[in-house]
Amino acid sequence: MGRELLLITVACIPIGLSLWAILDIARQPAWAWSLAGRNRTAWMAAVLIGILFLVLGLVVASYYLVRVRPQIAAAEQGRF
């Protein structure tokens, strides 16, 4: 029972990060994406495809949350 719970918990981490990234991508306004020079549709597709593969999903979602999200948030706040 303990190993199964650990496996489920470990598998939920990339899924949870991917869901967080998807929700954040959807929440950001389109104009902020344009100002940051990023493509919302491409990032949404990348994260959604990454969910199918746990390790890829973890990498893509983490990259978005650490590197791309701050750029979009800065554009939204008027910092370029």
Residues contacting 36, CB < 8 A, separation 6+: 68, 71, 72, 74, 75
Q: How would residue 80 be classed by pLDDT, with cut points 50, 70 and 90?
A: confident
Work out the average pLDDT over 17-38. Answer: 96
What confidence category does residue 9 fall into, taking pLDDT thresholds of 50, 70 and 90? confident
What pLDDT does residue 79 have?
83
Please check the confidence at residue 14 and state whether its pLDDT lies above 90.
no
Contact present, 26 and 64 (Cβ < 8 Å): no
- Weakest mean pLDDT among 18-27, 30-39, 53-62: 53-62
Contacts of 16 (CB under 8 A, 6+ apart): none
Contact 80, 37 (CB under 8 A): no
